Amino acid sequence: MPKTITLRLSPAEAANETILKQRLADACGCTVEKINAYQIIRRSLDARSRNIVTQLQVNVFIDEEFSDAFLFEPNLQNVRHAKPVYIAGAGPAGLFAALELIELGLKPIIIERGKDVRSRRRDLAAMNKDGIVNPESNYCYGEGGAGTYSDGKLYTRSTKRGNILKSLQWFHHFGATEKILQEAHPHIGTNKLPGIIAAMREGIIECGGEVHFDTKLTDLLIEGDQLKGLVLNGDLTVETDSLILATGHSARDIFKLLHRHKVLLEAKAFALGVRIEHPQSVIDQAQYHCGISGERNELLPPASYSLVSQEAGRGVFSFCMCPGGIIAPASTDEGELVVNGWSPSKRDGFFANSGMVVTVDEKDFAAYGFTGPLAGMEFQQMIEKKAWDAGGGKLKAPAQRMTDFVHNRVSNSLPDCSYLPGLTSSSLSETLPSEVLKALQLGFQTFGKKVKGYYTEEAVVVATESRTSSPIRIPRDTDTLEHVHLKGLFPCAEGAGYAGGIISAAMDGAKVAQAVYRKINQ
């Protein structure tokens, strides 16, 4: 067995193999020559003090053969003629459900309303350049789901939902670097993830699974309390008694379809707010204490932050922080404005952005006249329409300088921003609910005391960040994972209210696939 050693080194020492091996030898009480091999299994950065430290957990092999801690040998078998299981949605939940089904000997058939990753790019370009929204192909819909073109962050706190390492190993198997298995906060990047997702799809097809793009779930065939079939694209009927529903947090038509069939749904709290963008140098300077120039050591990654505060009785917190990133339009319909953020793999852009959000719940929905299971969705849609109107259309986003936002002033000018469709100077008090606005105003001032330089007129506040999670939960049985009333319907991941992010969605997809397998073989 290898020795597992934990080291705390300067970033320069950690990057120098000679120094690293000597420190490992010292920790093991042997000479460098005795070390046959070593493998970094965990890497994190501690920037809480001025002496920034890289912490490494390393397996060291002394007088023994190397054994790979990340060895992964998936059971990818031929399921071409196996029993089919339908999956609605080709996001991480749908793809990982398909991979799990293949390992279990079942044939996945994925139906996806959007396009493949390559074809999606043209529709995203039209959003950014011309302000045109394709309601079936955008940042939320299409192969890989919302995560494909919004960053590829692979960090999750959902450690009890499934096998995190296996989920990361699948990404590595299909082309991601080994770093994602080592890093405390793994990240692939929007420029790299599409190719990995495409390889994943090809792997599913090679095993006999099917993936159908431009194929929209438009109705369910139900007899009593049992699912009997699906209607696709309005006129194609297929028989099935099992559907993994992994359509994501933005598929409002699916929520309406279920509600029309009187399938039980529940309104769910979600987080609403804005995207805040700073020059990356401001965040680097604050987090790395790197002097007035804000120029960080080249061995350090672009700095990030995680902020939380209680303001006016509400939690205010950062969400999906993107160092060196870009703010992008995430709308799924004309007349509604949503923004999100992403980073390339190197995170080398000029700006840093993050969602800054406040939790809203049924009391907030009711205050605006929205009640019932769709109340959160309707409340969310109302805010997004206000943002569209305030921006002036064509996906232009309403925005203020941070200092003006806090003091309810319309900004005379706006700083440069990464958001390509453009900004419109507007008071966000016309877009955001007053309770959310007040909490954010207080929160920005609090964060300015915690992070030097954070509260500044050079930061821009962009509305609205509203697709943080599903506003609806589709209830399922704790043991069988089927819908509590409709047999054969397996609600899954973000769209059903059971995940939040790529890895937690992937784990839930695998978990639901196992539940389908158990039902088929009971």
- Residue 522's contacts (CB-CB under 8 Å, 6 or more residues apart) are none
The architecture CATH gives domain 84-265+474-520: 3-Layer(bba) Sandwich (3.50)
144: left (phi over 0), alpha (psi -120 to 50) or beta: left
Dist. CA 473–CA 268, nearest whole Å:
6
Q: Element (H or E) spanning 58, and its range?
A: strand 53-62
Task: Please give the pLDDT value at position 269.
Answer: 97
Task: Please give the pLDDT value at position 292.
Answer: 53
Residue 2 carries which DSSP code? P
Q: Which residues of 38-59 are buried (b: 16+ CB within 10 A; e: fewer)?
A: bbbebbebebeeeebbbebbbb
Dist. CA 89–CA 95, nearest whole Å:
8
The answer to whether 279 touches 413, Cβ cutoff 8 Å, is no
Task: Please give the pLDDT value at position 293.
Answer: 54
Task: Please give the pLDDT value at position 158.
Answer: 62
Ranges assigned E (strand) in 370-488: 397-401, 423-425, 460-465, 472-473
**Domain 3-62 identical in fold to domain 84-265+474-520:** no
Task: Please give the pLDDT value at position 474.
Answer: 98
Widest distance between CA atoms in the chain:
73
Instruction: Report CA Rg, the chain.
Output: 24
CB atoms within 10 A of CB 292: 6
Sign of the CA dihedral running 105, 111, 112, 118 = positive
The answer to whether 145 touches 92, Cβ cutoff 8 Å, is yes
Q: Amino acid identity, residue 88?
A: A
Place of tokens 């997004």: 384
Mean pLDDT in runs of 10 for the chain (522 residues)?
Answer: 95 95 96 95 90 95 94 96 98 97 98 96 96 96 88 70 88 95 90 94 98 98 98 97 97 98 98 97 89 71 95 95 95 97 91 97 98 98 98 98 98 98 98 98 97 96 96 97 98 94 94 98 90
3-62 under CATH 3.10.580.10, yes or no: no
Task: Look at residue 349 and give its three-state secondary structure.
Answer: coil
Nearest-10 Cα torsion for 291, 306, 250, 339: -30
Instruction: Tell me the domain boundaries of the chain.
Output: 3-62, 84-265+474-520, 267-465
The answer to whether 320 touches 366, Cβ cutoff 8 Å, is no
Dist. CA 147–CA 143, nearest whole Å:
10
- For the chain, the residue count is 522
- Residue 277's contacts (CB-CB under 8 Å, 6 or more residues apart) are 327, 351, 352, 353, 417, 418, 419, 459, 460, 462
